[in-house]
Amino acid sequence: MKLLALLPLLWVASLGAAQPPALKAGVFDPPRQAPELTLQGSNGRELTMSAFRGKVVLLAFGFTSCADVCPTTLATFAEAHRQLGPAAARVQVVYITVDPERDDPDRMKKYLGGFDPTFIGGTGSPAQLAAVRKDYGISAEKKMFGSAYTYAHSSFTYLIDRSGRIRALMPYGHSPDDFVHDLKILLGE
Amino acid sequence: MRGASWVLVVVGAGVVGALAWVGFTPIHSASRDQIFEIPKGTWTRRMAGNKVEILPDHIRLTLGIRDILVLKNRDDVPQIFGPTLMMPGQSFRLPFEQAAEYQFACTAHASGQMTIVVEPHPQTPWARIRWRVRELIHHFS
């Protein structure tokens, strides 16, 4: 009889357990495996996605001469990283350039180091980077201004879980708090 | 004359009553999802030269009523859909929490951009009337 009385409680508890906490980012269902890539890392080593299994990866695309979107995104990552405290060691920011003409590994290291020394940049040949962009559905268009140029590029961030699956996409403009919220959920899985 | 006055009074009262109902009744929605779906065979139709428009370049959402953008790829091939690349059978669910205008790069549109306008929840009677009238026009257009 007591067991029968407990049944409604168990049912309510199971409802709660069935609902995973909602991410602030847009969620893919089912999530797909992040395509493998091989680029030159700003840390002087080969950059592959599989090397980060066990960590949650924030993956974004941009370029070091970007005037607004990239510095804002990277400053957001840096603040989220700081707020995470020790858990930040299990999060890896990977920033892949869309501008291989200017962004060599050294330049990327200096640029990213200004935000957080743990951030890793990725660069390569135009063909390598174009293939990576295709795999990840990233747009990048060169815009000429006289002899100078800039890039219009996808500004969102992929959230890749510890199993290497693309779980979510955070549009540009979200706060560090939103990233911390989602990173804690993914780190807790 | 007296009969005509009565009709006017009744019609007027009806209009005022309807406006009061439209303005003061809170808006509820069974689902907060605004769904866009790529149907099976879309890629084949595009390859055959047919123009297939699925996702408008301007989407309007309302906080608390319809504030979750859901994209579904039911086709057999990967597709760039809105801001992202989606695999066959995959869906993407993006919630919005702040009223604002959001711009996404979207190669599927001639402008190269997709704009999502997220409006605040209609709190005042006038805002509710405006929201319901717009929904009605959208429904019949």
The answer to whether A154 contacts B97, with C-beta atoms less than 8 Å apart, is no
Q: What is the pLDDT of residue A8?
A: 56
The answer to whether A152 contacts B112, with C-beta atoms less than 8 Å apart, is yes
Spatial neighbors of A44 by CB under 8 A, at least 6 apart, are A105
CB B8 within 8 A of CB B44: no
Q: Is residue A179 part of a domain?
A: yes
**pLDDT band for position B139 (50/70/90)?**
confident
Q: Is residue A104 part of a domain?
A: yes
ipTM associated with this complex: 0.83
Chain pair A-B, CB pairs under 8 angstroms: 53
**A143 forms bridges with which residues in the sheet?**
A150
pLDDT digits (tens, 9 = 90+) for B36-94: 998 999 888 888 888 877 888 899 999 999 999 999 999 999 988 888 899 999 999 99
Comparison of pLDDT for A8 and B17, the residue scoring more: B17
Q: What is the pLDDT of residue A16?
A: 46
Tell me phi and psi for residue A157, to 5 degrees.
-125, 130
Q: Is residue A1 part of a domain?
A: no
Using alpha carbons, select from B98, B103, B101 the residue that is nearest to residue B114.
Answer: B103
Burial status of residue B47 (CB atoms within 10 A of its CB: 0-12, 13-18, 19 or more):
exposed
DSSP assignment, residue B139?
H
Q: What is the pLDDT of residue B20?
A: 87
* Token pair listed for A37: 């890539």
Q: How many residues does chain B have?
A: 141
**Domain tally, chain A:** 1
Q: What is the pLDDT of residue A5?
A: 57
The CATH number that applies at residue A30 is 3.40.30.10
CB B81 within 8 A of CB B93: no
Question: Who among A29, A137, A173 is closest to B84 (CB)?
Answer: A137
Confirm or reject contact between A139 and chain B (CB < 8 A): yes
Boundaries of domain holding A67: 23-187
Tell me phi and psi for residue A100, to 5 degrees.
-65, -20
Please identify every stretch of chain A with a pLDDT value under 50, giving residue numbers as ranges.
12-13, 15-16
Chain B residues with beta carbon closer than 8 angstroms to that of A156 = 83-84, 104
Q: What is the pLDDT of residue B107?
A: 67
Residue with tokens 């199993």: A163
Measured CA to CA, the distance from residue A77 to residue A112 in angstroms comes to 11
pLDDT digits (tens, 9 = 90+) for B112-134: 778 999 999 998 999 889 888 88
Q: Beginning with the edge strand found earlier in the chain, give each strand of the sheet holding B113-119 in spatial order.
A: B58-62, B113-119, B100-105
Q: Is residue A117 part of a domain?
A: yes
Q: Is residue A44 part of a domain?
A: yes
Predicted TM-score (pTM) of the model is 0.85
Measured CA to CA, the distance from residue A19 to residue B60 in angstroms comes to 28
